[in-house]
A and B are shown apart, each in its own frame.
Chain A
Amino acid sequence: AQSVTQPDIHITVSEGASLELRCNYSYGATPYLFWYVQSPGQGLQLLLKYFSGDTLVQGIKGFEAEFKRSQSSFNLRKPSVHWSDAAEYFCAVGAGGGSQGNLIFGKGTKLSVKP
Chain B
Amino acid sequence: GENVEQHPSTLSVQEGDSAVIKCTYSDSASNYFPWYKQELGKRPQLIIDIRSNVGEKKDQRIAVTLNKTAKHFSLHITETQPEDSAVYFCAASITGNQFYFGTGTSLTVIP
Whether A and B are associated in the same complex: the answer reads no
- Write the residues of chain B forming the contact surface with A, with a CB cutoff of 8 angstroms: none
Chain A interface (Cβ within 8 Å of chain B)? none
